[in-house]
Structure 1
Amino acid sequence: MTLRIPAATYRLQFNRESGLNEARALVPYLHALGVTDLYASPLLQAGRGSGHGYDVTDPTRLNRELGGERALAGLTEALRQHDMGLLLDIVPNHMAARAENPWWVDVLRYGPASPYAPYFDINWTPDRPGMTGKVLLPILGSPYGTALENGEFVLALQEDGFWLFYHDRRLPVKPGSYRQILSSGASGCSENPCPGPMPRQLEDLAGELDKLPSHAGTGFMTAFREITGRLWHLYQNCSEARVFIDEALRAINGTRGQPASFDRLDGLLAGQHYRPVFWPVANREINYRRFFGVSELVAVHVEDENVFKATHSLVLRLARAGQVTGLRIDHIDGLYDPEAYLIRLQEQLTGKREGAGFYVVVEKILGPVEELPANWPVHGTSGYDFLNLVNGLFIHSEGLDRLEEIYRCNGGPEDSFEEIVYKMKKRAMAELFSGEMRTLAGQLGRLAEQDRHARDLTLDELAEAVVEVMACFPVYRTYIREFTVTDRERQYIAEAVASAARRNPGAGRACAFLQRVLLQKYTDNLPAEWRLAWLHFVMRWQQFTGPVMAKGVEDAAMYVYNRLVSMNEVGGAPGAPPAPLPEFHRRNRARLQSRAYSLNATSTHDTKRSEDVRMRINVLSEIPALWTGRLEQWRRWNDGHKPVWNGRPVPDGNMEQFIYQTLLGAWPLREDEVPGFKKRLAGYLVKAAREAGTHTNWLQPDGDYEKALVQFTMSILEPGENNLFWPDFIRFQACIAHYGALGSLSQILVKITSPGVPDFYQGTELWDFSLVDPDNRRPVDFNVRMAMLAQLREQESGGRTIPVRELLDSWRDGRVKLFLTYRALQFRRNHPELFAGGEYIPLEASGPGTGHVCAFARRSDGNWVLVAVPRLLALFRAGCRGPAAQGGPPGELPPRILPLGKETWGDSTLLLPEGTPGLWRNVLTGETVAAGAAPGGRVLPLAEVWQSFPAALLAPGDPQAGPLCI
């Protein structure tokens, strides 16, 4: 199998409205754009109507709603004809816990005896009485007794046997209950005459069921399916049997208003291998591992070889056939042993246990100084590390410090981001993972029983230690899989335990024991089986630190801490300063050495805000004085629009700042998009408020608060004589949008040319102002994009020119972003050696523009390319270090003019490394720039580099070549 490395990927979100056949039609467009690999959301069979594909119901089949195998064959053939690959997102951690999943249904029907019981991460012996051999199903909208006596459960016969229905949910009935059901027809009732004894044919079928072996093996299930088929045939064709069965069902299903009539149904439910419960019970007593607290997504034991084979058979077949050329592994941190999984995956794909012979990237959230484990056989991550690194280029650190003061003075919380994270992680464990934490504490207690120094620790003390240390854990997880612990993992554990003991001295002894377990510091005389138990606890512990971090940070703290919400991104550090320019270069060079084929993402299906929204909001860090003036005015003007909820005005200062930043970042460029945006905004604000959990939440939504929040926002967006906010917002937002667009153009070019594989999320080749999902999964109008690209290509054909200035003047239509993406991707695809492994050389600027330039060179075997983009342009236009930047009195908005030529850049120059050519040609504009002499080497005048376009991709020039465009 040949290793294929993408040069650029493009993510498509598949669903029943946008399937494989629709994707096939896009292949010529994506190829023309410069994309080399289609990056597909999960394609395996998922739940009906799934909008994302992560709720897999059958990993052995392609999703029928997307078109199935025939449609995939058509798509992959179209990709092959254009020399393009297919990077497929797969989900090894979990499956859908619903009736569409045949494996899950089998487990519910047969319990621990099901051959699929080992597939799922279920605790069959939980502490709760009466739950041995059962699965807790948190599916009820009310307490069990209420739901039962309201007649919400209904027993019915279908062609595949008896099923219990709870509204639209189907729950299988175990074979041992069939005799009980059929006997109800002959048991009599007080209201209706009974149909008599059980018909002979039904009696025979019941007898055959009684004789089936107790073990649910293949023979048992085959015989059971044959019997249920005959039962359905009998029901359909024998009136006597049908009347008898209908009476049995009526007798069991009960009558609303007569509680005693539900006793039979209650008894039937009690005898199943599952227990339906009111949904809030899940977070306290669930006995299967879930994905991030989502009860409809049950975790699987993919570390088991048989489970791996069963769940990966189709994916492996597609890869071996060349239809899939790369894999993106979802939620790698949820696996029991990620390294073992990745080794097995590569071995199955390539036949080799060593190295990454097949292109694989993992969804891994790295901390600011964290790196992927060096021994993982992968090519990198799905790109959040790059996303946050490049975003920091466009945030002004000094301005960010000023924003902190502004934020606190206008209603922001007193706590630091780190303190908020600690509290939100503890809240997540209490509200979402209390059952899992209690189970971990119980496992730790069993280990303590065998340790003389820990034996007298109470279970409550150990539970407290588990929660405290997990709340203080600095990274998503460690990867201990043997009896040795690396120095880096030792450091993370020591840091977490020390912080936990500081915060809660009373838990110090228990934390110390937990630290010994995590570091595998057992006594020499500990038996081998207990050493394995210690290791198992550690590996189990590691599966939960990630979900706790995700729910505490991404889905809580990042909606509570609103200093500059463009920093509140997956894998981001909103409370820390952004990486300075030298650090950006250092990390890019390190990336080239270690993970040169990692994805460079800027927008994904999981980002909180699109790349263009973030770039707009970043501008506030450049003009903090202007922002504080607007914020104080807006709060004063809009105070009268605030509804009163529980005696308090809505929103509070923290949420009000969140709303204003959101409006500045996501406001549409076209007037006809405003009504749709308002609807999207309303849903987004409700989601954001529930995630923050301050005044409403997902477990107990407060509809009155949410209504008040939306009412306030919509009222301030209504133009009128008395609405002073509206015209001022529009003026200010226009300035933010102008500089945000310039930042976006710079970001695109840096993404495409930095070490790594540039990744584009669907639709972002034009301006995209999407918010968090489901907003970012809206349909994309590809017809508009295809028409625009066709026009650009037609303009450059036959030696004609692309009017760059016209694109810049009409930047609001998005063609300028498409143009830059197209030109840069085409150049990258045509020069793979420069970007796949070419040397990365940071460049420095001198003159007035110093600090507002990000530039670097790529070199390979004597071939060069230079990249230069401006940054922090609003700050530059506001006077660099003038009053607006220093936090003095607010002045006029920075002028909305293009940062081009001598007028902007004066005598600023770009210092070139030794050995560079003397003449350069801008791939984007066709202009040539000659290097001049200066003390210490050659320089390029920035006024010429950015003469007609505010970004430059420079290749060695050819004086004889005609212009590419003007």
Structure 2
Amino acid sequence: MKRQLVATYRLQFREGTDFESGRQLAPYLKRLGVSHLYASPIFTAAPGSTHGYDVVDYNAFEPALGGNDGFVAMSDALMEADIGLMLDFVPNHMGISPQNVWWEDVLTWGADSRFGDVFDIAWDAEKILVPVLGKPYGDALADGDLSVIIDAGKRRLRFDAAGYQLPLDPRSLGIVFRFLEHEAREQLVRRFAVATPWDAAELDERFEEHLEDETFRAALDAAVAAVNGDKSALHELHEAQSWRLAWWRTAREKLTYRRFFEIADLIGVRQERRRVFQESHRTLIRLAKERRLDGVRIDHVDGLGDPKSYLSDLKQAFSGVRRSPTIHVEKILTGPERLRASWEIEGTTGYEFITALAGLYVDGDQEAAMTQAYCGFVGEEDPLRTMIAKQKRVIFFRNLAGELQFLTNEAMNVASRGLSTRDLGPDTMARSIVEMAAQLPVYRTYVSVEGVPAHDTAVIDGAVERAKAGREVEADEPIEFIGRLLKLDFSDALDVAGALEFTRRFQQTTGAVMAKAVEDTVFYRYNRLIALNEVGGEPDHYGTGVEEFHQAMAIRLEDQPEGLLASSTHDTKRAEDARARLYTLSEAPERWAELVEGWRKTMEPFRAPADSLTISPDPATEWMFYQALAGVLPCDFDPDDTGARANIEARLAAFMEKAVREAKRYTSWTAPGTAYEAQLATFVHAAFDEEATGSFLADFWSSIQPFVAAGALTSLSQTLLKLTVPGVPDIYQGTEFYDFSLVDPDNRRPVDINGRSTLIHDDASIAEAMAKWRDGRVKAKLLAAGLAARAEAPTLFTSGAYTPLAIEGEASRHLLAFARTAKDAAAIVVVPRLTLGLLDGAEGLLPPAERWEGGRLILPEDFEGRGFRDVLSGGRRRAGKSMELSALLKGLPLAFLLAA
């Protein structure tokens, strides 16, 4: 029987947090009320990894975190505290590193490697491209950047490229031994010339024995020096390998393996192959059998060749475990897309919940006014959907050109066999592929050997029609052909096989196209209200209202009652409390525009030309800056605290640099615009420099106070929703209290837990903590009280019925209410929304009492006469046909009642 999910607590390992940190955290988590520690990747990753997603060994715990002994100690402590463990697992890709023995073997032996089937490599290509050189290959060779070295630790010779080392094929070492003046030369030449991958260990041993001979070592040193001094021999040795070094800029065009997005250091893994799956999941399954694993979060499930089959294999592997671990997937659902029921898993990690929150808290009635304010400041902007389509095309053609070339070749192979398609040219085919990806409204489809799901047929047909209507490709036939490929619409076996291979790679690529174009480009360009520019978000869906939120929760209950309810993650663009504050800007766009105009005038001297055509910061970036500044300042910020100013300035400066590089307008990661960035840095610094801008920061802080208070109340509202709507609350490290972090790496900073437990569990009531709301303790107390209530009836808040409740009175626009019911258990929840107007300038977080006058909460008939405990105040209430808001919300602006 699996451990009951009550709530998860996400902990970011590395960067100062190790297994000992996790071990010490167990008592705190127990007292807080969570049921599972949700750990970021903990298996061995590339040296210096700050995140662990570049795993190099699926079957070893990261030594820097404490290795196996450290993990076991942490696991024992968690089990003693009755805390489950959920692991973030990365099946889609591995890190390319000398520490990855599978990759090293592939580089050594090429297609003959015992691990040749592990990675998604195009073996029909001439070489495995290794794009790590800082300059073109010929220049690197001529400049002496390339050499052979003796690695005594690995007992072999290696090829070095300015510090980046690669293994040498033993069968090619005759080129080096040619320069060896030693009696063992001929024997070595013969022995290594006929080597096979199965001889590797013996070769290493024999070579080590030779290295122990001082005369041999001296002769080998001389031979290596001779090779390094002979450019022709060095080049000959390079050309004899299964890999080829290349300039790093070559990666986007000629890469010969599937990458994770555009990162050449992360190579795709073929989990659809049974041997690969079994070996890469060996330790994961063992942990489950040992009852040390209670759940897994599958990273980037859309990158897998066949997610449904992978999840089925995983469930099958877990089937023999007495406590079958839960399975959640990192999956972004867009628009009306729903989690596939056929996957039969607990759910997603919850980005769609963040989108639902945004819809609830943003004032859709004010959209036109905010748009007018934004466009008036930045000038005319492309419509969001036009901007997204443009950037998808750019990303595919430019950043993912290598993937596009692979797909074009696959499509051309099939087309060449059809009489009606043999005349299609590669350029037309490539543009058709790009246009289909540009018009795809979801991250990917899920066509496989099992067939084409009906939902995906509709998605593909819709993309075909939009692509034809857009006329980016002059003829309809090539677009229709791509549609046929994606629907496997062929009868010949060879064509079906080709269509399957094309579709597999297309589906694995469109997620990268979407993510890079939308999340990592457009979301830093289209800055109307940046709280909506969130992973999985749709910024043009500007406020959806109460009914739409209820509908979204009904879908959650049906599709994933045990899905995670995230409000902050390691990948969110800004933390939950920053977003909550920025949502409130939507209620007063004219006031916000007025404030921005004043700030613009103050900052005018620090806006300057970066070149003859560009002003830095540009208007869209400046508009974003003021929102980012408003979102990052803590509730208890003191403008006179020089240490706090310096800390926030450094964080905001790093964020702004990342933001403009991601936007890719005037600078980028691969081609930094130094003048633009330098001027932007000057602008950011000036905002914090009293000598430059006087009281600007103090005045800024004073002027946004209504948004700060409203944002804090919205934070409490979304916290209570996370505790009570269908699903399982996921608490990102440190977000028990307010968190105003920016995008990573800012949101991955270690959290100091010391003292937090005392603050959460002191004698102060939630109402008393609310009177001192700026320190964040009220949020933590609300969370702890809600988790304790969930523990009393955990299934009530997962699979229990969700019933919207009506509210009568003038305050109805500012409230959302619902009931949860299951057998003898029941709960009533009321939360505020559109809090800027609700507070209306009131001091603190309590709305004026007259707000509630005459308002009533209408209750289900079967609630009448039933007793309820007030989870937040501890009082008791008897339900009638309705409840008066003035009584229900007296003392606290939100309510959580649990049937007593």
SS in 2 for 1:92: coil
User: Paired residue for 1:547, among 492, 495, 512?
Assistant: 512
User: Paired residue for 2:192, among 209, 214, 223?
Assistant: 209
User: Paired residue for 2:478, among 510, 518, 526?
Assistant: 510
Counterpart code for 1:229: E
SS in 1 for 2:148: strand
- The answer to whether the 8 Å contact 1:205/1:231 transfers is no
SS in 2 for 1:410: helix
- The answer to whether the 8 Å contact 1:99/1:169 transfers is no
Residue 180 in structure 1 maps to residue 175 in structure 2: yes
- What percentage of aligned pairs have identical amino acids? 37
Tell me which moved more, 669-678 or 596-605: 669-678
What corresponds to 1:252 in structure 2? Answer: 227
Counterpart code for 1:184: F
What corresponds to 1:736 in structure 2? Answer: 707
Residue 343 in structure 1 maps to residue 291 in structure 2: no
SS in 2 for 1:78: helix
Query: CA 1:625–1:77 in 2, change beyond 3 Å: closer, same or farther?
Result: same
- The answer to whether the 8 Å contact 1:684/1:772 transfers is yes
How far apart are residue 566 of structure 1 and its match?
0.3
How far apart are residue 202 of structure 1 and its match?
4.4
Residue 699 in structure 1 maps to residue 683 in structure 2: no
Query: CA 1:750–1:323 in 2, change beyond 3 Å: closer, same or farther?
Result: same
Residue 663 in structure 1 maps to residue 629 in structure 2: yes
Structure 2 gap segments, 5+ residues each: none
Counterpart code for 1:661: Q
Query: CA 1:464–1:804 in 2, change beyond 3 Å: closer, same or farther?
Result: closer
Q: Per-residue CA shift, 1:303-331, capped at 9, x if unaligned?
A: 00000011110111111111011111001
Mapped to 2, the partners of 1:897 and 1:454 lie a distance apart of: 69
Mapped to 2, the partners of 1:653 and 1:835 lie a distance apart of: 45
- The answer to whether the 8 Å contact 1:929/1:944 transfers is no
User: Paired residue for 1:905, among 847, 852, 856?
Assistant: 852
RMSD between aligned alpha carbons? Answer: 1.9
How far apart are residue 505 of structure 1 and its match?
4.7
Counterpart code for 2:69: R
User: Paired residue for 1:386, among 335, 342, 353?
Assistant: 353
How far apart are residue 852 of structure 1 and its match?
0.6
Residue 490 in structure 1 maps to residue 465 in structure 2: no
Mapped to 2, the partners of 1:230 and 1:392 lie a distance apart of: 69
SS in 1 for 2:861: coil
User: Paired residue for 1:309, among 278, 284, 292?
Assistant: 278
User: Paired residue for 1:230, among 189, 201, 209?
Assistant: 209
SS in 2 for 1:375: helix
Mapped to 2, the partners of 1:532 and 1:945 lie a distance apart of: 64
How far apart are residue 540 of structure 1 and its match?
2.3
Residue 853 in structure 1 maps to residue 796 in structure 2: no
How far apart are residue 4 of structure 1 and its match?
3.0
Residue 458 in structure 1 maps to residue 425 in structure 2: yes
Query: CA 1:532–1:209 in 2, change beyond 3 Å: closer, same or farther?
Result: closer
Mapped to 2, the partners of 1:356 and 1:491 lie a distance apart of: 39
What corresponds to 2:620 in structure 1? Answer: 654
SS in 2 for 1:758: strand
Tell me which moved more, 292-301 or 940-949: 940-949
Query: CA 1:726–1:79 in 2, change beyond 3 Å: closer, same or farther?
Result: closer
Mapped to 2, the partners of 1:899 and 1:848 lie a distance apart of: 17
Mapped to 2, the partners of 1:224 and 1:486 lie a distance apart of: 51
What corresponds to 2:56 in structure 1? Answer: 57
SS in 2 for 1:609: coil
Residue 270 in structure 1 maps to residue 239 in structure 2: yes
Residue 520 in structure 1 maps to residue 488 in structure 2: yes
What corresponds to 2:329 in structure 1? Answer: 362
Counterpart code for 1:927: G
SS in 1 for 2:811: coil
How far apart are residue 8 of structure 1 and its match?
0.2
Q: TM-score, normalised by structure 2?
A: 0.96
What corresponds to 1:38 in structure 2? Answer: 37
What corresponds to 2:873 in structure 1? Answer: 925
SS in 1 for 2:573: coil
What corresponds to 1:949 in structure 2? Answer: 892
Mapped to 1, the partners of 2:266 and 2:54 lie a distance apart of: 7
Matched pairs, number: 890
Q: Per-residue CA shift, 1:469-496, capped at 9, x if unaligned?
A: 1111110001011464233212211221
SS in 2 for 1:123: coil
What corresponds to 1:157 in structure 2? Answer: 150
Mapped to 2, the partners of 1:88 and 1:601 lie a distance apart of: 16
Residue 716 in structure 1 maps to residue 681 in structure 2: no
Mapped to 2, the partners of 1:805 and 1:820 lie a distance apart of: 10
How far apart are residue 412 of structure 1 and its match?
5.1
Within-5 A mapping of 1:611-690: 611-647=576-612, 648-668=614-634, 669-670=636-637, 671=641, 672-690=643-661
How far apart are residue 897 of structure 1 and its match?
3.5
SS in 2 for 1:11: strand
Mapped to 2, the partners of 1:759 and 1:752 lie a distance apart of: 9
Mapped to 2, the partners of 1:691 and 1:859 lie a distance apart of: 46
- The answer to whether the 8 Å contact 1:917/1:956 transfers is no
Mapped to 1, the partners of 2:692 and 2:662 lie a distance apart of: 35
SS in 1 for 2:829: strand
Mapped to 1, the partners of 2:823 and 2:279 lie a distance apart of: 46
How far apart are residue 720 of structure 1 and its match?
5.1
Counterpart code for 2:871: V
Mapped to 2, the partners of 1:507 and 1:578 lie a distance apart of: 39
How far apart are residue 222 of structure 1 and its match?
2.4
- The answer to whether the 8 Å contact 2:710/2:839 transfers is no
SS in 2 for 1:162: strand
- The answer to whether the 8 Å contact 2:711/2:835 transfers is no
Mapped to 1, the partners of 2:746 and 2:386 lie a distance apart of: 30
Residue 835 in structure 1 maps to residue 797 in structure 2: yes
Mapped to 2, the partners of 1:721 and 1:140 lie a distance apart of: 43
How far apart are residue 571 of structure 1 and its match?
0.6
Q: TM-score, normalised by structure 1?
A: 0.90
- The answer to whether the 8 Å contact 1:412/1:561 transfers is no
Mapped to 2, the partners of 1:226 and 1:329 lie a distance apart of: 40
- The answer to whether the 8 Å contact 1:599/1:759 transfers is yes
Within-5 A mapping of 1:69-148: 69-126=68-125, 132=126, 134-148=127-141
- The answer to whether the 8 Å contact 1:476/1:549 transfers is yes
Counterpart code for 1:199: H
Mapped to 1, the partners of 2:726 and 2:379 lie a distance apart of: 38
What corresponds to 1:480 in structure 2? Answer: 447
- The answer to whether the 8 Å contact 2:793/2:825 transfers is no
How far apart are residue 831 of structure 1 and its match?
1.6
What corresponds to 2:561 in structure 1? Answer: 596
